[in-house]
Structure 1
Amino acid sequence: MRLATVRDGSRDGRLVVVRRDGDAVLDARSVARTLQDALDRWDACAASLRALAATLDAGDVDGEPLDPDQLLSPLPRAYEWIDGSAYLNHVRLVRKARGAEPPPTLETDPLVYQGGSGVLLAPTEDIPLQDPAWGLDLEGEVCCILGDVPRGTRASEAARCVRLLCLANDVTLRSLVPAELAKGFGFFQSKPATAFSPFAVTPDELGPAWRDGRVLLRLTVRWNGKVVGDLDAGPEMHFSFLDLVQHVAKTRAFTAGTILGSGTISNADRARGWSCIAEQRALELIDHGEATTRFLAAGDTVELEMRDGAGRNVFGTIAQRVVPG
């Protein structure tokens, strides 16, 4: 089952189910007004939402044509947005480029930060750039949307907390990062609003491509129409989503509607490309002593998507343009 949120003039939009081909949607407000409403009452709503999706896929109802520009983020605002860094190749590269050693617990203790969740960008919404000197970057990620997570949840129990999966472009202002980290208190100004994919999908929708808390599909990243990344999201995700849930729930409970990100998808094989400019610049610094790839500028376009073995665009496409802010 795939779900989306359509603009209706309200903050949270209206919930729809998405036809399998991605070309039509069916209003789901007879079951739940919004995705957050559905997540709050998941046990009562999930079967009815699946039934709506089945009628749409079977052609029993026509639905309404899908207009990507009318879609909000599946959750236009979320209770929490927590981002990990589960791809250790990315961590090692960016730290090596700046002459910093990885933390000694890199392979045993996930890195996470908590981002802003009150304003989330729609999948086709412009990215405002107030000052080009801030170093605007994209970051391609896989995310899960959680149900209620009790404090102390173990990885072995965490699969039951994963309700939906989606993609994210976790925008970063790279030039603002060093000064913030030097304060020893984490990211804030350097992490503006994140964009999410048009569709949020139930894990079973991926079939065997969802395994052991990982999405075993390739992320395609295009910059100004050129493919710069064709990355395998599965094998090199050192910490699975189940591991990340265990980590964040060690001392806290989380409410339904929390979004948990994988961090920048990264592969050791350079032929796969990259999903954030900082990683490419790190490679240039390591190899040549100078970073030559520029950051994003006004007028640039960025696209992220994942296709399954049949070529279906599982999560829809994040397609954004950078504009002067």
Structure 2
Amino acid sequence: MRWVTYDGGAGPRAGLVDGETVRGLPAAVTLLSLLGDDGETLAEAGAAARREPVEVRPLSDIRLLAPIPRPPSIRDGLCFLDHLRGCYRAMGRSTQLPPVWLETPAFYFANPAAVVGPHDDVPVAPGSTLFDLELEVGAVIGRGGRDLHPDTAERHIVGYTLYNDWTARDHQQRDMAQGIGMGKSKDSAITLGPALVTVDELEPHRRDGRLAFELSATVNDREIAKGSLADMDWTYGELLAFVSRGTELVPGDVIGSGTVPGGCLLEHVDTPEMASFTGWLQPGDVVSLRGDGLGETRQVVRPAPAFVPLSTRT
């Protein structure tokens, strides 16, 4: 099943995608409210949407929101180590990773209030001149749990969605210098969508036990990255086992895969194939993510809002 949250003019509503239409549920029903078990409630809602929808609307007539517009929490992993090596290379650092990166997957907490829909405009982060995209996949937790086992943790995932981790690289340099984690560099926008695609729908893309759908990113219709979710160094099962260690995952939590290698502008700063690229994202640029079985996001970058600078301490 492909589930969306949409606004047809009367406020947000959950619906089931059926071809080029969406079959809406009652306004009081959210996708988040349908999670919490092994998928039975979501399956029943899908049957109800097919049998007796509240409304049937063409996809072209509605605005798609993020499938889970305000997740309980968002954790973004770093499961493609070649992405990290590419960033190190761009920053003039050795691509030999410190051993800590090989011991556990890394992740940080992101901002649920920053979530935007798959076709929403995205302003540049205030004060940033090095604004970037990141090509990722988000897993949505359907059934909560803690201290999950890496061999069975993926059973807690109800489905997947595209995830664009917009990043202000200049702010990130300050965050890294301060050394207490991601701050304003990751705070301005996170794209989720266009749909929450259930695990069963994606089974045709599974190879050797792993989901292997192809992913790509374009800027102004120029492809900057292409890869596969199967290339993760840390699997989703391992990532979920680690992030749930000693704490609770709850239905609706979103867990990012980390960036597909090459899936951000930073990795291409000094590569020959990007020699003619015009630089960091600018107002008017069109950024698109695509994934086999997941669909496509397409968004326009807008100018940064004004802000009042702070006085530095002496």
TM-score by length of 2: 0.86
Distance 2:137 2:301 in 1: 22
- SS class of match (1:197): strand
Pick one of 160, 177, 182 that aligns with 2:177.
182
Equivalent pair of 2:218/2:289 in contact (CA under 8 Å) = yes
Equivalent pair of 2:66/2:116 in contact (CA under 8 Å) = yes
User: Offset at 1:186?
Assistant: 0.7
Equivalent pair of 2:128/2:171 in contact (CA under 8 Å) = no
Name 1:63's counterpart in structure 2: 56
Query: What are the within-5 Å matches in structure 2 for residues 71-82 of structure 1?
Result: 71-82=64-75
Change (3 A) 1:292 1:43: closer
Equivalent pair of 2:161/2:192 in contact (CA under 8 Å) = yes
Equivalent pair of 1:142/1:166 in contact (CA under 8 Å) = yes
Change (3 A) 1:119 1:131: closer
Name 2:25's counterpart in structure 1: 28
| Alpha-carbon displacement from aligned partner over 1:43-94 (angstroms, at most 9, x marks no partner) | 55123133246559xxx99932113761100011111110001111111121
Q: Is 1:263 matched with 2:251?
A: no
Q: CA RMSD in A?
A: 2.8
Pick one of 285, 289, 296 that aligns with 1:304.
289
Q: Which amino acid counterpart does residue 296 of structure 2 have in structure 1?
A: T
45-54 or 252-261, which moves further after superposition? Answer: 45-54
Change (3 A) 1:79 1:133: closer
Name 1:156's counterpart in structure 2: 151
Q: Which amino acid counterpart does residue 213 of structure 2 have in structure 1?
A: L
Name 1:269's counterpart in structure 2: none
Pick one of 296, 299, 305 that aligns with 1:320.
299
User: Offset at 1:197?
Assistant: 1.5
Distance 2:208 2:140 in 1: 16
Pick one of 203, 208, 212 that aligns with 1:207.
203
| Larger strand proportion of the pair | 2
Equivalent pair of 1:153/1:249 in contact (CA under 8 Å) = yes
Q: Which amino acid counterpart does residue 21 of structure 2 have in structure 1?
A: A
User: Offset at 1:115?
Assistant: 0.5
Change (3 A) 1:324 1:69: farther
Identical residues among aligned pairs (%): 29
Equivalent pair of 1:155/1:243 in contact (CA under 8 Å) = yes
Query: What are the within-5 Å matches in structure 2 for residues 197-236 of structure 1?
Result: 197-210=193-206, 214-234=210-230, 236=231
- SS class of match (1:247): helix
Name 2:16's counterpart in structure 1: 17
Distance 1:88 1:68 in 2: 41
296-305 or 43-52, which moves further after superposition? Answer: 43-52
Name 1:107's counterpart in structure 2: 102
- SS class of match (2:148): coil
User: Offset at 1:261?
Assistant: 0.5
Distance 1:68 1:28 in 2: 17
- SS class of match (2:108): strand
Pick one of 117, 120, 123 that aligns with 1:122.
117
Name 2:265's counterpart in structure 1: 277
Q: Which runs of 5+ in 2 are unaligned?
A: 305-314
User: Offset at 1:215?
Assistant: 2.9
User: Offset at 1:227?
Assistant: 2.2
Change (3 A) 1:80 1:241: same
| Alpha-carbon displacement from aligned partner over 1:209-268 (angstroms, at most 9, x marks no partner) | 13577431111212112222232221x2111111110010112111111000001011xx
Q: Which amino acid counterpart does residue 26 of structure 1 have in structure 2?
A: R
Distance 2:113 2:39 in 1: 25
Equivalent pair of 1:55/1:61 in contact (CA under 8 Å) = no
Change (3 A) 1:68 1:221: farther
Distance 1:292 1:17 in 2: 39
Pick one of 224, 228, 238 that aligns with 1:243.
238
Q: Which runs of 5+ in 1 are unaligned?
A: 267-273, 308-313
Distance 1:224 1:82 in 2: 29
Distance 1:49 1:209 in 2: 25
Change (3 A) 1:168 1:96: same
User: Offset at 1:97?
Assistant: 3.2
